[in-house]
Amino acid sequence: MTSLPAYPSAKRLGLVIDLDVCVGCHACAVSCKEWNTGGYGNALSDQDPYGPDVSGAWLNRIHTFEVVPDGGQVVGEASDARIVHFPKSCLHCEDAPCVTVCPTGASHKRAEDGIVLVDEDKCIGCGLCAWACPYGAREMDVAAGVMKKCTLCIDRIYNETIAEVDRVPSCVRTCPANARHFGDFGDPASAVSTMVAERGGIDLMPEQGTRPVNKYLPPRPRRPLADSAPKAAAVDVSGVTGFFAWLDGVLERI
Amino acid sequence: MHPALSVIVFTTVSGLGYGLAAVLGLGALDAAAWPTRVAHVLALAAISTGLLSSTLHLGNPQRAWRAFSQWRSSWLSREGVLAVATFLPLTASAWMSVIEGRYLPLWGLLGTAGSVATVFSTAMIYTSLRSVQAWHTPLTVAGYLSFAAAGGLLLATVAAYAAGSDMAPRLALAGIVALAAAWAFKGAWWRRQRRMAPISTPESATGLGAIGRVRLHERPHANENYLTREMGFKVARKHADKLERLALASGGVAPVLLLAAATFAGGGLAIALALLAVPFHAIGVLAERWLFFATARHAVMNYYGR
Ligand code: SF4
Ligand code: SF4
């Protein structure tokens, strides 16, 4: 059924991604690829895997952006410009346009926990859902001809055969900087809800009307470049004569 | 957006087919005349070719039947359901004309209504996508419907002249009006596309706008991926301007002049002139459809610096 659940689910599982902490190591993307190529649905195929034109389906990709504040100066490598590493995967939107456009019922949003999934046995690989998603969170597996997307590691989070500490999405478990957090946004007391409230978590492209569940924590403010310029302490040399006065004069000139 | 040949051919050919079927369904042509019979077969052939070519780009075409299930939410599903449902009255009308030389108003009008509804839902597939801002306007629907009408009237005019029907000049006139309307809608669509401020920007896409101006520093992967191949296509404005003029000249100006000339010429010359207008129109519409995809920017490109 590609109509969205009539009522928002009480449980809304998703991720918080801390842009202040992410170091852009791509470990989450790699662990996601590794877990999901053997997990839910078809393997995540690569084309020309060891050749020059390698490309394949990934469910998580890390972009890196430069942000320049208004009036900020960009001088070589030292400047007011900030580098922000930006992991991006499915945001499990409340008003998911990728779900409603699907003609087959393959793409759906689960009423019980809000996870957006593709039933690969129903998918015809028309690609319309990837067009409908403004975030680029869906990629076609061209070998299997079906659409792939983040499942929030549905085969981990409810998996009682693995240790409890591992029952989080693979990306969250892997992140060495602890930039990714998994939890229930439907519960205002959950760790993810608290984090979002404290740090002012944001929605990506709210103007697209998708109401994403995943939230991003903005980088913490940084001091302007000018504040960190070393301030030369003024030294009083007025009483110096002879060799030191000569030395002072030479040093002034060079 | 990537201008996939199968989708461009599908929308152009099936648009012509549905346009012709819609005009035939109105009963303006003598059902017993041989050109009308040919037109019925042609319309069905165009529609079927279009529909078949649209399944070519599917990853799993053998499951295409599943696409009829989600008509409650999906315009693509509605298009499929309507296309199949419309086949019934269209085939009935074609049968009546080709085999029995008769026109049945009920089946005819049902076919017309179904054709209009099918083209409408095709257009709605694109119109409903907020992620592609250039498409997200009622002008997209107006364009698809009026181009189908113009193409249908054009083909019907040829058939009317070939049948020596006195409806021919009237159909030609209606064709001219439809052509003018279609290109007026397209002109407005192009103007809107050129002037609109993007609703999504790298700043809103990353949520970093509060800090400052955002620029892509490093892509996630060095090579192209599905997203950049499918949605990263962008044609330079300079070339788009040139192609727009070519599309208008071939698909609009030329057929209008040829149809007008046909109404003055009459007889055998009129058939030739109206017939000549068809390829001109088709080439113009193909170019217009190519631009429709190739110039449209997808919101995801805010993450790819394109
Ligand atoms: S991020 Fe994209 S794929 Fe995921 S739910 Fe939202 S619209 Fe759908
Ligand atoms: S690609 Fe598959 S999941 Fe996506 S809209 Fe088409 S059928 Fe649905």
Q: Which helix (H) or strand (E) holds B39?
A: helix B34-55
Question: Quick one: pLDDT at residue A74?
Answer: 67
Question: Quick one: pLDDT at residue B144?
Answer: 97
Cα–Cα distance, B130 to B140 (Å, whole number): 13
Question: Quick one: pLDDT at residue A66?
Answer: 93
For the segment B164-181, what is each residue's pLDDT rounded down to a tens digit? 999 999 999 999 999 999
CA torsion, points A106, A110, A115, A120, in degrees to nearest 10? -20
**Chain A, chain B: beta-carbon pairs less than 8 Å apart:** 206
Q: For residue A17, is pLDDT > 80?
A: yes
Give the confidence band of A235 by pLDDT, cuts at 50, 70, 90: low
Q: How far is the CA of A107 from the centre of ligand 2 (A)?
A: 6
> What residue ranges of chain B have pLDDT lower than 50?
none
Residues in chain A: 254
Nearest residue (CA) to ligand 2, atom 8: A102
Angle at B296 between CA B293 and CA B297, to 5 degrees: 135
pTM to 2 decimals?
Answer: 0.91
Which tokens go with A23?
């170091």
Question: Quick one: pLDDT at residue A2?
Answer: 75
Given B73, B215, B226, which is nearest A57 (Cβ)? B226
Cα–Cα distance, B196 to A9 (Å, whole number): 36
Alpha helices in chain A (DSSP H): 27-37, 97-100, 128-132, 154-157, 170-174, 191-199, 242-253
Residue B102 forms contact with A (CB below 8 Å): no
Chain centroid to Cα A205, Å, comes to 14
Cα–Cα distance, B258 to B172 (Å, whole number): 10
DSSP state of B223: S
Question: Quick one: pLDDT at residue A1?
Answer: 58
Give the confidence band of A234 by pLDDT, cuts at 50, 70, 90: low
- Rounded to the nearest integer, the mean pLDDT of chain B is 94
Cα–Cα distance, B127 to B122 (Å, whole number): 9
Q: How far is the CA of B141 from the centre of ligand 1 (A)?
A: 25
Given A66, A86, A124, which is nearest B61 (Cβ)? A124
Question: Quick one: pLDDT at residue B84?
Answer: 93
Count of alpha carbons within 13 angstroms of residue A144, beta-carbon side: 20
Which tokens go with A88?
């991006």
Long-range pairs for B125-128: beta carbons < 8 A, 24 or more residues apart: B125/A101, B125/A128, B125/B75, B125/B76, B125/B79, B126/B292, B128/A101, B128/B75
Report ipTM (2 d.p.): 0.93
Q: Which helix (H) or strand (E) holds B147?
A: helix B138-162
Which range, A41-45, A226-230, A236-240, B154-158, has the best average confidence (pLDDT)? B154-158
Cβ partners under 8 Å of residue B156, min gap 6: B20, B23, B24, B28, B29, B39, B171, B175
Question: Quick one: pLDDT at residue A189?
Answer: 95
- Judged by CB atoms within 8 Å, which residues 170-199 of A form the interface with B? none
The pLDDT of A6-21, averaged and rounded, is: 90
Q: Which helix (H) or strand (E) holds B155?
A: helix B138-162
The pLDDT of A240-254, averaged and rounded, is: 81
Cα–Cα distance list, A53 to A50, A76, B218, B227 (Å): 8, 33, 18, 15
3-class SS at B165? coil
Which tokens go with B145?
């419907």
Question: Quick one: pLDDT at residue A77?
Answer: 58
Query: Angle formed by the axes of helices B105-127 and B5-25, to 10°?
Result: 150
Handedness of CA B252, B254, B257, B262 (dihedral sign): negative
Domain ranges for chain A: 13-230
Q: How far is the CA of B166 from the centre of ligand 2 (A)?
A: 49
The pLDDT of A88-114, averaged and rounded, is: 96
Q: For residue A37, is pLDDT > 90?
A: yes
Choose among B154, B139, B137, B169: nearest CA to B15. Answer: B154
Percentages helix, strand, coil for chain A, rounded to the nearest 5? 25, 20, 55
Cα–Cα distance, B174 to B170 (Å, whole number): 6
Cα–Cα distance, A23 to A177 (Å, whole number): 7
Residue B215 forms contact with A (CB below 8 Å): yes
Q: Give the residues across from A85 on adjacent strands.
A: A64
> Which chain A residue shows the shortest CA-CA distance from B206?
A204
- Rounded to the nearest integer, the mean pLDDT of chain A is 91
Question: Do the beta carbons of residue A116 and residue A101 sit within 8 Å?
Answer: no
Ligand 2 site, CB within 6 A: A 101-104, 106-107, 118, 123-129, 147
Answer yes or no: do B73 and A54 touch at CB < 8 A. Answer: no
Q: Exposed, middle or buried, B85 (CB in 10 Å: 0-12/13-18/19+)? A: middle
Residue A86 forms contact with B (CB below 8 Å): yes
CATH number 3.40.50.300 is the correct assignment for the domain at A13-230: no
Question: Quick one: pLDDT at residue A9?
Answer: 77
The pLDDT of A114-140, averaged and rounded, is: 96
Nearest residue (CA) to ligand 2, atom 5: A102
For the segment A136-175, what is each residue's pLDDT rounded down to a tens digit? 999 999 999 999 999 999 999 999 999 999 999 999 999 9
| String of DSSP letters for A24-56 | ---HHHHHHHHHHHSSSSS---EESTTSTT-EE
User: What stretches of chain B adopt beta strand conformation (E)?
Assistant: 213-218
Question: Quick one: what percent of chain B has pLDDT higher than 90?
Answer: 87
CATH number 2.40.33 is the correct assignment for the domain at B5-57+67-209+218-304: no
Tokens 């009459």 correspond to B266
